[in-house]
Structure 1
Amino acid sequence: MVSHNPVRIVVVYQSLLGIYGDRGNAMVLTQRLRRRGIDAELVMVEPGSPVPTDGAVYLLGGGEDLAQVAAVNAMRADGGIFHALEDGAVLFAVCAGYQIAGNTFTVGDHDEVIEGLGLVDATTRRGPVRAVGEVLSHWTRPDGLEVVLSGFENHGGYTTLGPAARPLARIELGVGNCGDGTEGAVQGQVVCTYPHGPNLVRNPALADWLLEKALGRTLGELPDEQLNEELRVLREQRITVARHSKNLAEDTRWLGARR
């Protein structure tokens, strides 16, 4: 898409889909643009106000059942996000945002099936156990380089992808989509993932890829070498902690089985 000046990063319905600090993802995107000397604007839009159609990246975060339904109904009635995607914008949908971006999802004790936005070929149903804990997955960038993504998942819905969507990454640790070894989804300009809290703080390479998809050009590394190194060290620490937790859990199960 043609970059606007400033580049607009749009958080959609923070009051409904923002219970896990997902606004932080928008702050990461905005700051990574500004540190490159690119003028960027963080836009917050709530139900009752029109969703702007001139954004570069739109973000949907986590929320509870009733909030999901309210958000879907409001976005469908507004229509702005559909027009923005048609114009080349990128949507980054996390957790509940991921579920409502799909074809259908379920809510409530009786698993009522709700029609989603239909932006991703995916369906979500209640899973056998709630997925809670650290997640590690392996994402292959467009240039072929494999990157380990880390995060924290907390979701009761299990998502199955249809043929039009492809997984974002392969699971090393955690449940991911539905325990099938995949995590997240990519379809056109829509990118979805389960880890939140916010996800992009841990995964700057993924943040830059979203921006590159939206702007239609390569950004390269941040000019701040010290910050890049600090982020690299933080990432390695989080990955090490997650793998240590996994090994500890496996050792505990082994010791229990020996008794």
Structure 2
Amino acid sequence: MADRLSIGLILPDVLGTYGDDGNALVLRQRARWRGLDAEIVRVGLGEAVPNDLDVYCIGGGEDSAQTLAAQHLIADGGLGRAAWAGRPIFAVCAGLQVLGESFRAGGRVYDGVGLIDATTAAMQNRAIGEVVSTPTGHGATAELTEPLTGFENHMGASILGREAKPLGRLRAGTGNMDESTFLDISDGQQQRASEGAVQGSVIATYMHGPALARNPQLADLLLAKAMGVSLAELEPLEIDAVTALRAERLAAAQG
């Protein structure tokens, strides 16, 4: 088990609009609470993405920021090499869209990084509000058992291909797409109930919050993957404030 962790915060200068930088802070603090030496490595636009960090976080941003991020990540290739090496990557909102095959921004379609078999179109109405899902347990998320909760704020409709699986099944909120999108898809009813995506070592979601502050089990799963151990091998953490936050947000979303 590693006693030192490097946490990559990827392009926070362009994909840091919604406070998703906090996901890296949560990972660092939960690692430190367990006595690990953890550091955050910030990688800005124009800088090479190291392919040997232990875990990566990428957040949300506006249309123009997405296009800049996608162009940089495609040209650089470091995040792709990290994914191929099995390094855990956590992507939120625009991060999900950018890591897909393509996404729409400013009325145009742009190539994504291609780490998730998903294409993102535009919804008619913005999805905004609390979202709750039940983890599907696909792939890298097999050990997740607790409900997932966050705050969504997007107009992207992400359609999953055969290689990508949903992170969660919706209990409240819009998730990956709204009704105007799924009517045009052969498996639309199933896709309409989806939130996020899982493929290989990539876990992606539309949950802000930041998501890992509201979902400690998901945060610990990422830490476990980064350390090369199972979730069950991590020392449990009982943090009253986190428990209270989850209870409040789950009640608000489902009430």
**Shorter-chain TM-score: what band?**
0.7 to 0.9
**1:49-99 alpha-carbon deviations (Å, 9 max, x no partner):** 211122111111011111101111111111111122222211111000000
SS in 1 for 2:40: strand
Mapped contact 1:35–1:222 kept (Cα < 8 A):
no
Matches within 5 A, 1:224-243: 224-225=237-238, 227=239, 229-243=240-254
Partner of 1:41: 39
Mapped contact 2:23–2:212 kept (Cα < 8 A):
yes
Partner of 1:132: 128
CA distance in 1, matches of 2:153, 2:11: 20
Partner of 2:164: 165
CA distance in 1, matches of 2:83, 2:226: 10
CA distance in 1, matches of 2:109, 2:201: 25
CA distance in 2, matches of 1:223, 1:181: 31
Structure 1, unmatched stretches of 5+, are 245-259
Partner of 2:58: 60
Partner of 1:249: none
2:115 equivalent to 1:119: yes
Off by >3 Å, runs of 4+ in structure 1? 140-146, 219-225
SS in 2 for 1:127: strand
After alignment, is 210-219 or 230-239 more displaced?
210-219
Q: CA deviation at 1:243?
A: 1.6
After alignment, is 136-145 or 97-106 more displaced?
136-145
Q: CA deviation at 1:224?
A: 4.8
SS in 1 for 2:155: strand
TM-score using structure 1 length: 0.87
After alignment, is 145-154 or 181-190 more displaced?
145-154
Query: How many residue pairs were aligned?
Result: 238
- Share of identical aligned residues, percent? 48
Q: CA deviation at 1:165?
A: 0.6
RMSD across aligned positions (CA): 1.7
SS in 2 for 1:100: helix
Sort the Cα spacing of 1:224 and 1:60 in 2 relative to 1 into closer, same or farther, 3 A.
closer
Mapped contact 2:51–2:79 kept (Cα < 8 A):
yes
Q: Which residue identity is paired with 2:214?
A: R
Q: CA deviation at 1:148?
A: 1.1
CA distance in 1, matches of 2:220, 2:227: 10
Q: CA deviation at 1:47?
A: 1.4
Matches within 5 A, 1:154-193: 154-179=153-178, 180-193=192-205
Matches within 5 A, 1:66-85: 66-85=64-83
Partner of 1:150: 149
Mapped contact 2:86–2:200 kept (Cα < 8 A):
no
